[in-house]
Structure formats: C-alpha cells, structure tokens
Structure 1
Amino acid sequence: MKKLIILVLFTAIGINAMAQDYTITKFGVGTDSTKLNTKAIQSVIDKAYQKGGGTIVIPKGVYLTGALFFKPKTKLLLQEGAVLKGSDNIQDYPFIPSRMEGRGLKYFAALINATKVDGFSISGPGTIDGNGHKFWKTFWAHRDSLKKLGKQSTNLEVSRPRLLFIWGCNNVSIKGVKLRNAGFWTTHLYQSNNVLIEDCDIRSPFRPVKAPSTDGIDIDFCKEITIRNCYISVNDDAICIKGGKGPDAQKLPENGIVENVLIENCTIGESHAALTMGSECIHARNITMRNCKVDNDCPILRMKMRGDTEQLYENITVENITGKCGAIIDINPWRQFFDLGGSNAKPFGTIRNIKMTNIKVEATKFGEMDGNPEDKVSGFLFKDLEVTAKTPFLKNRYQDVKIENVVVNGAPLVVKP
C-alpha cells in the first residue's frame, strides 16, 4: 500500500511538471512591442522542453517575434489581450526544408512551427498577427513589374512567411485563437492527423491592400480533421484541400490523400471560395461541410481541375448552407503554373459521389461544371436547393448529374450545356 501511495505521488508530481506554465515575461521577455523577442521566446520554449514539457503563456501585450519552433510536449496559450506579432523582415524566418504548393522544398519558416509535436495545442483568446502588410505590398509590386514585361510571377517569388505550419503532428488542437494578417497561407496542416480547429477567428484583408494567398486553412495530406465554429475571411480560399501536384505526384511518398474532414457551424466571409479542392490535390475523400453560413460573393464549392495532375475527388457532401454567395458550384480547369515537367503522361480528374443538399442562398449565379475535356464526373446530386440568382442557370457538360427539387428564382433550375 505504501509503495502504491509513493507511486501515485511521483506520478502526480510528473504530471504537474508536464503541465507547468511558462509565462514568457517571467523569463526575460520584455513588453517593448518594438523589440524583437525571437531568441528570448524561443529560449522559453526550449527550457520547457528540457524540463519535460509545458505551456508557453503569452500574457497581455504585444510581442514582436520571428519564427518560433515548438518542441515535443510544449504548447502555446495566448491570454486575453496577448498578441504575438510577426516580424516583417524575412530574415527573421529561417530558410529550411519545408512544403509549399504541393511539393517538398526549402522555404521560409512560418511564424509558428510545430514538427512532430504530438498533442500540440494553440489556445486563445489572444491573437497571432502575421503583420503581413509589407509582404503584401512587395508581392503586388513584383507581380505588377513582371506583368508590364509580359511575364507571370509565381506565388513563391516574393519571400513571405506562413502564419502556422503544423507538420507531422497528431492529436492537435487550435482553439479560441484569433489568426490575423498572414504573410502567406494562414494555417497549413501537413501530414498531420486528428486535428481540431475550433472557435477560431481567421482574417486577412481585401483592402486597402489585398493580402495575397492567405488561405484560411490548408489541409495537405492529412486525415481526421474537424473545423468547427470558426469565422474565416481571407484573400484566397477559406478552406482548401491539398496533397500534391504534378504528373507523377501520386507516386511520391511526400504526397497523399486528404480524408475524413468535417467542417461544421462555420461562417465564411469574403474569400475566394468557401471550400476548395485543389489546386494541389491528388485525392480528397469523405469531406463534409454542413450547417454553415456564407456571407460573400465567392463559390460555395470549388473544384480546381489541373490538367497536369491526376486528381480524384470523391464522397463530398455540402449540406445545410444559408446566406449569400457567388456560385453554388464552380468546376473549371485550373491552368495557373501548368507544368508536365517533360512527362508524356495525360493526367485527368475524376469527380464522383458529390452531394449538395438543403441549401438556401442568395447567389450571383448558380454556377458551372465545365472541367478539362478528359475529366470524368459521376454521381453528382443537387437536392432541395432554394436559390435566388442573377444568372439562374447551371452550365453543365456532364451526364450523370441529378437535380431534385432545385428551385431558382421560383422556378425549376435550367441546365445549359
């Protein structure tokens, strides 16, 4: 009995040690919001890791920092009024092995980085602010200068950091935090499973300067993802399903399926699309978006069909959607940065078992289903839709599309080739 009591005490002590809070201002991090605190905050993370783990607490105040790297058994808590503000100097973000636009490559670290940190969590109610204004202005200036020369600019030519990059982590929680003004993508999940993003407010602006490519949540080769009770308004796709691109993408181990994703009770503000498949996606399966409100002029469901990538989108359900939007559905070729890389392959896309049901919205148009000529669509169902739209018909080139009880402007939906 005595040994059992001692064992319980030691276990309790161990748990308490693991659960220790590390408030950064108690470890030499100052409150001067103009002073770069990267090294000081990183040293707190490292100390917590060395002591067996703990929660890094950001108290009220604004703390300027470059890239931070969380370690196993460390977590992040931002208290009310706390702001982790990203440096707008790209030199404060190391150039390291990473993942961008469906390919493994070296790129600049995000503001918050967690690699193989199972159980990692970020909790609010504070704010992570990417301070992206300088990056956005530089991006548009570069793109405009090339446009005058008749050239295109890729998204990677102007160096800018993501806000969050979660790589190879399981059992992740991001709850109650405000994510703002990302330099590039806001939340990038890669090779991570069992992730909950809940009660988060994710925003980047369209004006006065557009915040380019600031996707709200990018899900890249991941499984078991839940996004719940979030508000998202960004200058790109709100929620984007990724996983790889290129004619041999499906053969490469760094690429893979995104499956079992649930998006519910969210509000999607101004964005480029509420839910997007692609443009870097080889296989998306079992994706559900339900009980959500849209308040924007963009598509509810968008499928980007790459002519240089084998794609399979299957078992996707969008149901119980209200509000106002652009299109109900948008399926079109995606030709941006098309690259077969010298391959003789002839990739095509397959779309099957898609349901859009119980949708009541005011839309700009019903939409288009007009992918690449080789793409195949089957088992696509629109059921119980009540829509008002300025352009009330569906442009559709596929045979296996069923329409049941779909009313647009008080009349049955008209389908045109």
Structure 2
Amino acid sequence: MKVLTGLALMGVAATFRPDAGVHRIDGPKTNPPVSLNAAFGYDLPPVITPTFRKDTINISKLGAVADGLTLNTAILNKAIEQCNRGGGGVVLVPRGLWLTGPIALKSNVNLHVASGALLQFTNQRDAYPLVKTTWEGEDAVRNQAPISGTDLENIAITGSGILDGAGEVWRMVKKSKLTADQWKKLVASGGVVNDKQDSWYPSAQSLKGATATIKKDGAPGNYLDIKDFLRPNMLSLTRCKRILLEGVTFQNSPAWCLHPLLCEHITLRNLNVKNPWYAQNGDGLDLESCRNGLVENCTFDVGDDGICIKSGRDEQGRKRGVPTENILVRNCRVYHAHGGFVIGSEMSGGVRNLYVSNCTFMGTDVGLRFKTARGRGGVVENIFIDGIDMTDIAGEAILFDMYYAAKDPVPQQGESNELPAIPAQPLSEATPQFRAFQVRNVICKGAETAILVRGLPEMAVKDILIENAVLQARKGFVCIESENIRLKNVSLITNAKTVMQIQNSRNLTLDKIQYSGNPELLLHISGDRSKDIRLLNTDTSHARKTVETDANVPINSLTTK
C-alpha cells in the first residue's frame, strides 16, 4: 500500500478564457492542507495558488509578429507592464512562432502561452545583459535569464505552448558525450575547442571564462570579457509569492531550467521540462530556499538533475539560513537525468519536511540522490518517500553520499569511483548532516548498486529507514560511516559475490532481507567502529557463508535471530 496515494491536494488552477470580460476573482485559492500524521506524524501546511482577473491582452493586437524573425521583446514586456498597471490579468501569446529577448514578469499577471505557440528566446547573446544574481547557491554575475521576476506576488505561466531558451548557443559540450559524427558537425558549426580537444565552447569568450578564475561578486561591467561563459538559468524567480506554472513545456535552457529562489507558495503542475541529455548544468527544477510547494504530474527529461532541492552553498548558504521546507512532489516522471529526485549538493541552509510519492524514474544516472560534502554545513531531515518505480538506472538506485565531487555520478570510461582513505575532521558549522529519512515501497529493475550509504568519519548518515523494496542491481547494499540504518523487507536481486557490505557503521538492523541465487557471502563487515549490527528474520541458508568480519571488527558486533 502506498501511503500517499490519493491524498487530496488538488488546487484549482487559474482559469483562462480569452473571450471573458472584466471579472475580478476575490482572494487567493488554497490547496487544502495534507495530513500525513498516520504515516509520518506531520501535516503539510496549505499551498496558496494565484488567481487573476480575466482581462486579456493579446500580444498580436499590440503589434507582435509571429514570423520567427521579428524580435518581439519590447511588445511582450509592454503587454506585461500594461496588464500589471491595469490591476492584473492575462497576457496571451497565441498560436505562432514568436521570437523574443528576455521577459520580466510582473505581479498579478498570468502569461498564457496557448496551444501551438512557441515562444522562442533569441540566440543572440548580446540581448541578455549581465546582472547580479546567484549561481549554484552563491552570489554571482550572470546573463539575465530569458524569464525573470523579483519580489513579485501572484504570477503564473500557463497554457500548453512551448518556451525554448536557445541553450545551444550558451552551453559547452564534452566530446565524450557525442558520437564521432556529432562531434565533427558541432566543431564545424563554429565556436572553439579547448587545448585538450575534448570540449567545445560556443565562443572564444566562453572558453576564456571556463579557464579563468571567476570572482564571486562585483559589478557586472567587470565581467564583459567572459560574458558568453556566464550562462543564465532559463526561469529565475527570486523572493516571489504565489506562483503557478502549469501545462507548458520549458525546453533547451542555457543552464538550469526552472529556478525559484526564496519563494513561497509554489505550484508546478502538468509541466514538460526538456533539455539535451548531454547539457552541462541542465537541471530540470531547482527549488532553492523555498517553502510551501506542490510539484505534481510533471515530466522531466534533462541533462543534469531532474527534480532538485537546494538551499544555498557553503558559508553564504549558512549565512542566509533559509531552508527549503514543506514541499510535496507526486506523480512525476523523470527520464534521462543525473538524478530523479535529488537533494543537494548546495543544501547549506538546510532542507526539511519533504514528501515524494508515486514517481517513476527511467534511465536516470541515479534514482534517489542525496549528496553533500564537507564545507557545506546544513541539516537535511524529515524526508519521506513512498512509491518510487525505477528502471535502467546507470548508478545507484538509492544514494546517500557525503563525498560529492561535482562530477558525473557515473564514472566515464577509465575513471574510478572509489574513495581514498580519508581521516576524520573536527566538527564545525561546515559539517553537513543527513538524518531522519523514510523510504518505502521502491521498485528498481536494473541499477549498478541497489543502495549506497556513505557518510563522513566525523558525521555519520543517521536514522534512515528503507522498507518494502525490490532492487535489482549488479551490487547490493553498501553502507559506510552510518548510524541507525534500518532495512526492512528489502529484496536485493544481485549476482554479486557479496550481497551486503558494512564498514565503520553502528546500530544497523537488517530485517527480513531477501536475496537472489546462492551468493558466496551474505554480509561482510569491516572497520574497527562497526558494532551493534542485527540480522533478523532472514533466511541465510542460500548463501554459502552468512557473515565475514575483518580482524579489526569488535567481537560480537553482529547479532542474528
């Protein structure tokens, strides 16, 4: 039984009727609160969705031209400004191919991209001025986002049309991610190749930025010589309240696709988010330091993490101190991505009270991916996941990793994913923490590793429950530097010689573990800090050997019943 199935959180979207007269809708609409007390002992607060006047401004009536050649930037922004000044309403982008530069949203405006409409952002990089913003959780100067808004209330992008960010003129491309023919065509199209001949850049300025030391702050004018390198996120919303994104397709972003930062009451529904699979930093959704959100019935097929939760990076993130919290993600699909549902690695402000239910990951590098590193700080806690189906996962089905190294989660040919021996460091505010996760009802058909839990010597991954899972993978369960981990009713379908490996971990319960075939070893324990490990209600008769412990493991570290 999937605990979250059928929970009523069905908010009413803002309605668009192009023939409607003036009609003000009084008061915001509210998704009802969700009670999760029975399963998790916590209730989600309500998510408030925006509402709009039905006044409609059709951009074609203001002189916009849908010929794919005329730049309609000024008219689009004029329509949004006019709608805002008139008390709000709908700005209609009707069917057609509309070329535009960057758009600035305004409060009380619903940008409705109709069926058959393609809002194509220009590939002329000079149309996007440098602005002060953030990048990967820290203050930065970047090019203005194709769509942006700051300190707004009651905003939406709706419809069933397409918004294309022209990301191909911004992104670098690694040779290793293309076929030989694709690489030749890309190089012949223009741009420059680095000295190693293994990466293509859209311009010499972009390559210069990739090899330069980038300042973290400063005036935009100080970055003009590397402007092309400073790729924008496609949709950048900062300190906004009551946001609705519904129905449209966002595709081909220069960097991250959707980036709400410090926003509240966010509803994302029935979206399609698409990027080329090789798109560097081509995340689908990054919710950063946001609270009270609903993400449902969305599809992601992108070049980096699919659905990602963040809260700032390192010292700046800790100083901001705003967690991402009270978010429900349900009924979503993720195709190619570095991770299906992801937390981190920029989580320095903390993450808490997240609920993920009934999602499907197909062909992602990692399924459930929780990543951080020394220096981040921050606490990730109270994460509840129920009902995940996965297939064709290149790396780990479930991953807790406190050694994130900012590289692809699946090693390239010839690369190693093994960690060197790393000594403990003193605890500080820069020490990150993962704790209090509940993961239930997970199916995975095909992965490299079923479950990998990898904490720090000074800070274990703590208080993790994984219950009712069937995981088919080349490797089984690997647990390093962890505490209070519980696997209950977990099937590890693997041909590995050793099904489960535990290193320097304590207070582990392995209850009702099923496994396939006749492995040479069911459980290997290593590390002089491994203790209080319990193997319960498990038929060990099919394994040639039940347990093997290294010489430095304390006596009586394992109990079987």
Question: Helix, strand or coil for the counterpart of 1:88?
Answer: coil
Q: Look up the match of 2:59.
A: 24
2:265 alignment partner AA:
N
Give the CA RMSD over aligned residues. 2.9
Deviates more, 1:16-25 or 1:117-126: 16-25
Q: Look up the match of 2:308.
A: 240
Q: Look up the match of 1:125.
A: 160
Q: TM-score, normalised by structure 2?
A: 0.66
Question: Helix, strand or coil for the counterpart of 2:268?
Answer: strand
Structure 1: unaligned runs, 5 residues or longer:
1-11, 338-343
Q: Look up the match of 1:106.
A: 141
Q: Look up the match of 1:351.
A: 434
Aligned residue runs from structure 1 range 264-283, under 5 A = 264-282=330-348, 283=350
Contact 2:120 2:165 in 1 (8 A): yes
- Among 267, 271, 274, the alignment partner of 1:196 is 267
Q: Look up the match of 1:391.
A: 475
Q: Look up the match of 2:414.
A: none
Q: Give the Cα separation in 2 of the matches to 1:260 and 1:155.
A: 37
Q: Give the Cα separation in 2 of the matches to 1:161 and 1:362.
A: 36
Tell whether 2:242 aligns with 1:171: yes
Residue 162 of structure 1 and its aligned partner are, at CA, apart by 1.7
Residue 92 of structure 1 and its aligned partner are, at CA, apart by 1.3
Once the two structures are superposed, residues 142-178 of structure 1 have per-residue CA deviations (whole angstroms, 9 ceiling, x without a partner) of 9962667999759987122222111111111101111
Q: Give the Cα separation in 1 of the matches to 2:63 and 2:242.
A: 31
Q: TM-score, normalised by structure 1?
A: 0.87
Contact 1:90 1:160 in 2 (8 A): no
Q: Give the Cα separation in 2 of the matches to 1:148 and 1:262.
A: 44
Deviates more, 1:174-183 or 1:406-415: 406-415
Question: Helix, strand or coil for the counterpart of 1:133?
Answer: helix
Runs of 4+ in 1 over 6 A off after TM superposition: 138-144, 148-152, 154-157
Q: Give the Cα separation in 2 of the matches to 1:230 and 1:143.
A: 36
Q: Give the Cα separation in 1 of the matches to 2:454 and 2:258.
A: 30
Contact 1:243 1:256 in 2 (8 A): yes
Contact 2:174 2:198 in 1 (8 A): no
Contact 2:57 2:83 in 1 (8 A): yes
Q: Give the Cα separation in 1 of the matches to 2:343 and 2:192.
A: 25
Q: Look up the match of 2:24.
A: 15
Tell whether 2:411 aligns with 1:335: no
Q: 1:38 to 1:139 in 2, by over 3 A?
A: farther
Residue 70 of structure 1 and its aligned partner are, at CA, apart by 1.3
Q: Give the Cα separation in 1 of the matches to 2:316 and 2:237.
A: 25
Q: 1:126 to 1:271 in 2, by over 3 A?
A: same
Q: Look up the match of 1:161.
A: 232
Question: Helix, strand or coil for the counterpart of 1:237?
Answer: coil
Contact 1:244 1:281 in 2 (8 A): yes
Deviates more, 1:239-248 or 1:170-179: 239-248
Contact 1:180 1:204 in 2 (8 A): yes
Q: Look up the match of 1:409.
A: 493
Q: 1:13 to 1:182 in 2, by over 3 A?
A: closer
Question: Helix, strand or coil for the counterpart of 2:24?
Answer: helix
Q: Give the Cα separation in 1 of the matches to 2:370 and 2:173.
A: 29
Identity of aligned residues (%): 24
Q: 1:248 to 1:119 in 2, by over 3 A?
A: closer
Residue 395 of structure 1 and its aligned partner are, at CA, apart by 3.8
Q: How many residues align?
A: 395
Aligned residue runs from structure 1 range 282-301, under 5 A = 282=348, 283-301=350-368
Q: Look up the match of 2:194.
A: 145
Contact 1:248 1:309 in 2 (8 A): no
Q: Look up the match of 1:322.
A: 389
Q: Look up the match of 1:5.
A: none
Structure with more relative contact order (C-alpha pairs < 8 Å, separation 6 or more) = 1
- Among 151, 159, 171, the alignment partner of 1:116 is 151
Residue 116 of structure 1 and its aligned partner are, at CA, apart by 2.1
Tell whether 2:448 aligns with 1:377: no
Q: Look up the match of 2:282.
A: 214
Q: Give the Cα separation in 2 of the matches to 1:154 and 1:119.
A: 40
Q: Give the Cα separation in 2 of the matches to 1:119 and 1:240.
A: 24
Q: Give the Cα separation in 2 of the matches to 1:321 and 1:44.
A: 43
Question: Helix, strand or coil for the counterpart of 2:78?
Answer: helix
Contact 1:305 1:371 in 2 (8 A): no
Tell whether 2:94 aligns with 1:95: no
Deviates more, 1:90-99 or 1:231-240: 90-99
Q: Give the Cα separation in 1 of the matches to 2:74 and 2:317.
A: 38
Contact 2:143 2:232 in 1 (8 A): yes
Q: 1:248 to 1:184 in 2, by over 3 A?
A: closer
1:266 alignment partner AA:
C
